[in-house]
Each structure stands twice: as structure tokens, then as C-alpha cells.
Structure 1
Amino acid sequence: MTSGNGHRSGRRPGHSGTREAILDAARVRFAQVGFDRASIRSIATAASVDPALVHHYFGTKQQLFTAALEFPVDPDVILTQIAAVPLEQLGETIVRAVLTVWDSPAGVQAVAAFRTLIGSGDPALVRTFLLDVVLKDVRTRVDSPPGSGDKRAVLAASQLAGLLVTRKIIQIEPIASMSIAELAVSVGPTVQRYLTGDLPISY
């Protein structure tokens, strides 16, 4: 759709390459500067489209990020569960919420998306997803003493990444066949210690 002076404006729902151009630009921008610093406007500029068109195709920035990752599950499914529990229950809740997604019908696609991203040799999007989306609010909640939140979140992310690899990618037993409840009880306390326990963290 064009305005009277020939400039592009509004929505172009029939343009077959527009959605792909936005996704390509989003992947590059998110990898370069992370989720928080990548604005819809900067992504639209890189894709040579109006910012309104990005919202038309993808809605919010978080929905765009999910689509850029080809992640089949809305991160809010995990974030809502994590936000609802008190600090002392974060570890088990995070493990249970993440495992529930991985073991769901959409989990096969989710694991495949992460495997592709890791195998591409550019893990920036995976880091952004874990630290800037899933664990972003957690970092603030566990920032005690002040300045330790980022390192605590990274330690927790390392545990979750290791659990993903052992359970879903190389499928080491008995972790591969343990129930979600059993793993949450077994691994949750370790994640909890990273988040709220006494650690020799320098910052």
C-alpha cells in the first residue's frame, strides 16, 4: 500500500517476502544487542518496513522474538508460573515449568529450534532467550547481595541447559525417563541454591 506521494505506508499483508525480511532483521538485531535494546523501530528500519507492519505481523516484541527463534511456545507460559511463586520456591518452579514445556507436544519443535540455534555456531539468540526473557525478572528478584543477580541467573541457566542436553538431546538415563515431578524435586534445590543460597560470587 502506498500513499499519494509514492512512499510506502500502512500494512502490506499481501507481500510474500515482508514477514521473512522482518524475521531476518529481528534475528540479527536480537543477536547483536539483546532483547531489551532491540527496538521494534530499529528492526523495522533494518527490514525496510514501517514499524506498524512489524506489529501487524507479530504483535509485541516478545512475540516477534518467539517467532524469530521459531520457538513454538509463548514464553509467557513459563514466565507466568515463575512470577506467581515466592522466592524460596523459584528453583523447583523453574525446573518444573521448563520441563513441562519440553515434554509437551510442542516440546519437540522447541528442542529442535534450540538444537538448530546452537548448531549454527552463533549462540547469541539462545543466551538472549534464557537471560533476557525467561530469567530477566528472576535476575532482579535474586539480586542479593546487590550486583549478584546476573551471575546467579547465569548459574541457573547453566543447570537448565545441561538438563536440556542430558534429557532431550543425548537422552542419558535415568534423566531421560524420570518424571517431571522427580526431576523438579531433584534438580530444583540446586537451581534454588544458585539463585538464593550463599555462593562464593565476586562481582
Structure 2
Amino acid sequence: MTDPDVDPPKGARPVGRRAGESGTREDILDAALTLFAERGFDGASMRAIADAAGVDPALIRHFFTDKPSLFAAAMAAHSEIPQRMAEAVSGDPGQLGRRVAEAYLTLWDDAELGPVLQGLVRSAVTSEHGGELVAEALFSQMSKVPEVAAAPPEATRGVALAGAHLMGVALARNVLGLSAFTGMSREELVEAVAPSIQRYLSPLVERRASNDDGPGA
């Protein structure tokens, strides 16, 4: 048993959390989201996240099996992004494409969430697995909405297509700064892309209409 009054040997690495820091799961998620946004998926190492959270790297693996799991958990638990996208599904089916486009593009203009999204999308273009992880993080909550989850495969594909389209627009406007996109207001962009997003999501709209017209409607 180690005597708490005896100093550890020089060069020994302290085990567990640092003194004075909480070392909780929430601290890890906060640190992870910040570093993923700043450095991208590949650039944010597990050790760097542990240092930022003030914990031993082993504690991260206690809560999360690997970095993709940590990324998904950080996005789901410590970001409003997935929830806002899920909320956009509710409402008039005829305006679904406009609502989804508006919700997504509005996130990029948010003072707090915009920089996070920029960092995450940079992950998508610089990491072998970043694109898939970011798309899953942004649109997974939409797929969990009951009417989407119960929809046929073509509706799920439509959600993926809508996500890819919107991510491309955001990449061109907010990361690459292409003049054709930066010269348009958010409202103009929504007007331009909403019909395509509506078309991608048409199987979902048709399913909702069918349910509304079914027995007991």
C-alpha cells in the first residue's frame, strides 16, 4: 500500500484525476467537443482530451471504448445541434425541406455553435472517418424521430442526401468562403436549397400523408 505522505519517485506519472479537478464524464465530454472543434477528429488525441479535462487517459477509456464513441457521445450530450435538427422534422410536411434547411443553416450563424460546426466539418474533409462521423452526429437524431425511424429505406436515404447537400452548402459558404455562397444571405440560401431538400425528404412526407389519411384519420 502506498504511503500518502511519501512523495512519488521522480518521473513517476500520477494516476487518476489531477488534484482540484473533477474528472467527471461531463468534463471529458466538454473537453472533447472543444478539441474536436479546434483540431478536427484526427488532431484531437485522446491524451490531449484527457489533459484538457484534467483526467488520466485511462479514465476516458473507462467511459468510452474509442475515439469515435467519444466523438458521438460529445456531440449527442454536449451540443444543441442534433436536437435542433430533430425538432425541424415536426410541423407542416409541405414545408419540411424549408424547415430543415433553415434549422441547419441557422446553426452556422450561431455565435457559439458556428465555430463548433466549422471545426467538425473540417474533420469531415481531413479525416478518413470524419465525414461519416460528422454526418451521423448531425443527422442521427432526425433518424431517431419515430416517424423517420419507422419510414421505409428510401426515406432514410433521403435524410442522408439532405444532410450531404446541406453540409456541402455550409462547407462552401462557411469554411471555404466561396463568393457565390458568401454573397447570399441565409434567407436566400434557404430559398435556393429548400426545394431540393424537400425532394430528398419526399418519401417521408408521403408516408406522413398516408398515415394522416389512413383509418381513424
**1:40 maps to which residue?**
none
**1:83 maps to which residue?**
89
**2:62 maps to which residue?**
48
- Aligned CA distance change for structure 1 residues 152 and 112 (closer, same or farther; 3 Å): same
Aligned-residue offset at 1:65 = 3.0
Whether 1:194 aligns to 2:200 is yes
126, 147, 153: which one aligns with 2:153: 147
- 1-structure distance, mates of 2:83, 2:139: 14
**2:140 maps to which residue?**
132
Q: Which amino acid aligns with 2:90?
A: A
Whether 1:111 aligns to 2:118 is yes
- 1-structure distance, mates of 2:149, 2:186: 25
Report 1:11-26 matches (<5 A). Answer: 14-16=21-23, 19-20=27-28
Whether 1:120 aligns to 2:127 is yes
- 2-structure distance, mates of 1:115, 1:62: 14
Question: Do the aligned residues in 2 keep the contact of 1:139 with 1:152 (CA within 8 Å)?
Answer: no
Superposition RMSD in Å: 4.0
Aligned-residue offset at 1:121 = 2.3
The alignment partner of 1:148 has SS state of helix
Q: Where do 4+ consecutive residues of structure 1 move more than 2 Å?
A: 13-24, 45-49, 61-65, 71-80, 133-139
Report 1:176-191 matches (<5 A). Answer: 176-191=182-197
Q: Percent identity?
A: 23
Count of equivalent residues: 154
133, 154, 162: which one aligns with 1:156: 162
Question: Do the aligned residues in 1 keep the contact of 2:143 with 2:156 (CA within 8 Å)?
Answer: no
Q: Which amino acid aligns with 1:179?
A: S
**1:171 maps to which residue?**
177
Task: State TM-score, norm by structure 1.
Answer: 0.59
Task: State TM-score, norm by structure 2.
Answer: 0.55
Unpaired stretches in structure 2, ≥5 consecutive residues: 1-19, 42-58, 64-69, 204-217
* CA offsets 1:130-154 (integer angstroms, 9 cap, x no match): 34124543971793xx331121112
- 2-structure distance, mates of 1:79, 1:98: 10
Unpaired stretches in structure 1, ≥5 consecutive residues: 1-12, 32-44, 50-60, 198-203
